[in-house]
Amino acid sequence: LSHFGTINGLLDGDATLKGCVKEIEKMVFSGTLSLNNVQAHNADQSPLASFKSFNMNIKKADLGKKVFNIKSIELKDPVFNFDIYADGNTFSRMKGGRQTDTLSKADSGKHARADKDTASTPTEIRYNVKKIAITNGSFTYADHAATPEEQVFPVTDFQLTAENLTNGKPSPIKITA
């Protein structure tokens, strides 16, 4: 994200770790993670996103087995701005446009062989989130390329609650908005 602006905020957390430090990829942990008063700006310092607080209560995260059990995720007062321009959108501008490939054909072949030699079958990540709650959210969609005039669509004061989100054993999912 070469054209990303700034991010400010406070990170806090506590964790209980189980396992050997020499084998971090096999560690199991639980605990909390909090981010407070976070503000993100585009490269031109226009507001991109902000939120008052993000809290995650992790029941168990097993890095070796790639299993993540989350008790709760709470996001309070999130604000997000998404803009469309004639030459792209909020995200394409962060990426800095199209990247060009500068590898020669010989280098490209070397990289392809190296990738093939080191390729492995990835382990599927399994997750279960007991509850997600978003309170007092808002976002603005602005189409600056619209004609005959700019279109702005603000959505304010939305609430969202979702329970039992998982990619493991199917269970009923409850979503309210």
Q: Is 143's pLDDT higher than 50?
A: yes
pLDDT value of position 98:
38
pLDDT value of position 87:
85
CA–CA distances in Å: residue 65 to residues 25, 107, 127, 142, 168: 9, 36, 11, 42, 13
Q: How confident is the model at residue 47 (pLDDT cuts 50, 70, 90)?
A: confident
Q: What is the pLDDT of residues 93-132, one digit of tens each?
A: 666 543 333 444 555 555 455 555 555 566 788 999 999 9
Q: What is the pLDDT of residues 49-106, one digit of tens each?
A: 999 999 999 999 998 999 999 999 999 999 999 888 888 887 776 665 433 334 445 5
Q: Please give the backbone phi and psi of residue 105, each rounded to the nearest 5 degrees, phi first.
A: -60, -40
Question: Among 4, 98, 95, 76, which residue's Cα sits nearest to residue 46?
Answer: 4
In angstroms, rounded to a whole number, what is the distance separating the alpha carbons of residues 90 and 64? Answer: 36
